[in-house]
Structure 1
Amino acid sequence: MTSCHDPRTSRTLGALLGVHCGDSLGATVEFKPWSDIIRKYPQGVREIVGGGPFEWPAGHATDDTDLTRAVLLAYLNYEESKTAENVESVEDFDIAKAAAEYALKWNEGDWPGRKKGSRPIDIGNSTRDGLRRYKISRDPSKSGAGIGSAGNGSLMRCIPTGLFAPEERRQKESIAISQFTHNDPRCTVACAAYNEIVAALVGGKTAQEAVEVGKTVADASKGARVAAAIEEGQTLNLAKIASQGPRGETKVPSGFVLNSLRLSVAAVLDARCFEDVLVDVVRIGGDADTNGAIAGGLLGAKHGVEALPERWLSKLQFRKEFENVGVANSPAPSKQSLKTWRNRFSDSS
């Protein structure tokens, strides 16, 4: 496939759509153990077919992509505020509050693809509790689920910050956007480290270099457990785990934030192609859609959107919207129009 000639835009789009691909691929086997998946899908789930415990239509966003969209729309609003006549509007813009407001809309049924007023069927406990408290306080810094609640519900949605926040704000905003539902330091520091890995990949660093950047951020943030999880991820053989099954605490594909971080680090360091690596992340089972989303974001940022299978992209609920926002907000020095990018993509398929 011919390159779109704009590596940063390609990696930005790859990251956003990689989250969506991993989410939609993993939704089919969410909560299933590896032993069940390997019997039904010996080579892994290789097509986006929907189904799963919530009977998703093929390519429909679950909470992972929906809440990534909430954060993405907050950044779009920030960019729009820059064009406002009132210059103070940019300085006063609270990105965490904007993201929390969109997440609240999602929770209360003001969202594409759902009946008006209907609640999401797949919301996590910490996210539900955090949004309930946020609705009362309207303060994203005081609504989190609290210390000791360290699920992966903020890590799964955090990637727009790694793509669109300026370097000087990136870590602060990663933490703030995590806090409105997940304010345990393992979650906030994991989001900050993950987004630094994303930014490094989009900027052209190798996977190993990017992971080292993330580990440095975790160390500097006094996130010893997060740094240790990144180190453990560097040692995992993803293909072996996917073919032989997860064994041991560090390989359990649960919803614990550090387990998801470990798997995503192992994924981005894997030398194989985007498709094969993401299929193996999902094949491990457990919280397959969220682990797929988190790993898919890093893989897309590493490989660029040209590496994502068109047969997957064509199924994604928010593909066009993510493409539009991704190109419009791309950090690339010279932005291509979406029409030009799509024409080149089609011509090279």
Structure 2
Amino acid sequence: MEDYERLFDRVRGAMLGGAIGDALGWPIEFLSLEQIRGRYGAAGVTGYLPMSNPDAPQQITDDTQMTLFTAEGLLRCPDGADPAPVLRRAYLRWRDTQQQNKPAADVDGWLGGHQFLYATRAPGNACLTGLRRQAEEFVPPLEFGEPGPVNPNSKGCGTVMRSAPFGLAGFGADRAFYAAMRCAQLTHGHPTGYLAAGAFAVIMDAVIAGVDLPIAVRDTIVRLAPMPSSAETVTALSAALAIAHLGSPTPERLEQIGAGWCAEDCLAIAVYCALHTYHTGDIRSGLLLAVNHSGDSDSTGAVAGNLIGAIHGLSALPMHWVEVIEGRDELFRVADDLVLNFHYKDRTTLADRYPLDTGLVG
């Protein structure tokens, strides 16, 4: 596979893989492992669960919705501009989808014109409350390592589950890290919440560039370790590496890392599942491992899917899962637009979809 084909394949894989994991986990998000096994058998969920309408696509949630709006915000951010105010407006456009039944006649931008994004499926409380405050006025991030000004005690996984595009844009580790952290602070102020988002962006940036996953994770731990307030994220990532060496992965071993409700646990679970696919090539079992546990199954599925797809590419994902995912065509389009805009610096076909956001800060 040529280098340009591999790049498109990996970025597509990240966007579609995240949506698949999200859709696999969404119906069992609030069930314990015991309940999952009681309903679906000892193996738990082994594929998409049947929809009430068999002709409908498999549903995605706010995890994939917000990932799409993250990508849109980056695509609308002028070169050299601070991404935080631009991403604030992108996330406020997502918030509009959760408060309206359909696109407005004067919807701002191509992405917001798609009806499937207006579904409300248990969006995260910190994302909503944080954006409620951001809607009143732009609350900029503070120094890293200190609690941010918005939801300073929140380290929910809403930071990590939307941050894959920061690592898909070819920014390089430093820029991806700090951009993801700045934009995570828009809604989550706990240092672990935004450091975990930055760590995810760095890992994604590395694997898109072809770095082996274990090296990418270890390098990220080295980057984080000297930083203030990084202990929880470093501990979680180190646990994922350690537990991966204990033997064949199981839900019980996965649950030693956590449940995924918090940002560092969600990231570490995703890494644990992706390490399984890295070593075995078994994409299907890695995606299913990410959702069959007592925790935030759609978010851990989404983040693991982002990472697994980035490592192995779209071509390795189960095509029968790709074909029926909600928003499939839009996910393809956004993935390709990220590559064209950031890796090939070609906006000739993108201006109509992504008008540059030159609004005043706030």
| Coarse TM-score class (shorter-chain normalised) | 0.7 to 0.9
Residue of structure 1 equivalent to 2:286: 277
Q: What is the CA–CA distance in structure 1 between the aligned matches of 2:120 and 2:234, rounded to whole Å? A: 33
Which of the numbers 231, 235, 245 marks the counterpart of 2:242? 235
Give the direction of change, closer, same or farther, for the CA distance of 1:302–1:139 in structure 2 (3 Å limit).
Answer: same
1:313 paired to 2:318: no
1:97 CA displacement? 2.5
2:168 pairs, out of 160, 163, 166, with 163
Q: CA deviation at 1:33?
A: 0.6
Partner Cα distance (2:317, 2:271) in 1:
19
Compared CA separation, residues 300 and 183, structure 1 to 2 (3 A):
same
Matching residue within 249, 268, 274 for 2:274: 268
Q: Which deviates more, 16-25 or 97-106?
A: 97-106
Matched, 1:322 2:315: no
Q: How does 1:37-52 map to 2 (within 5 A)?
A: 37-39=36-38, 40-49=40-49
User: Kindly, what percent of the aligned residue pairs are identical?
Assistant: 24
Number of aligned positions between the proteins: 319
Structure 2: stretches of 5+ with no match in the other structure: 104-111, 143-147, 347-362
Q: What's the offset of the Cα at 1:251?
A: 3.2
Letter paired with 1:104: R
The answer to which structure has the higher helix fraction is 1
- Indicate the residue corresponding to 2:152 in structure 1: 147
* Per-residue deviation, residues 19-49 of structure 1 (Å, max 9, x unmatched): 1010001112111111121231433323223
- TM-score, scaled relative to structure 2: 0.79
Judged with a 3 Å threshold, the aligned counterparts in structure 2 of structure 1 residues 333 and 76 are, in CA distance, closer, same or farther, namely closer
Deviation digits for residues 165-216 of structure 1, max 9, x if unmatched? 5225212210121111112110111011111100110000111111112212
Equivalent in the alignment of 1:103 = 94
**Distance in 2 between residues matched to 1:198 and 1:308, nearest whole Å:** 17
Q: Is the 8 A contact 1:34 1:246 kept in 2?
A: no
1:18-167 correspondence to structure 2 within 5 Å: 18-39=17-38, 40-49=40-49, 58-78=57-77, 81=78, 91=81, 94-109=85-100, 110=103, 112-113=114-115, 120-141=120-141, 145-164=150-169, 166-167=171-172
Unmatched tracts of structure 1, length 5 or more: 83-89, 336-349
Match of residue 294, structure 1, among 303, 306, 309: 303
Q: Is the 8 A contact 1:49 1:58 kept in 2?
A: no
Query: Alpha-carbon deviations, 1:293-317, whole Å to 9, x = none?
Result: 0111111111111111111111112
If the length of structure 1 is used for normalisation, what is the TM-score? 0.81
CA positional deviation for 1:63: 0.9
Moved more, 227-236 or 97-106: 97-106
Name the structure 2 match of 1:211: 217
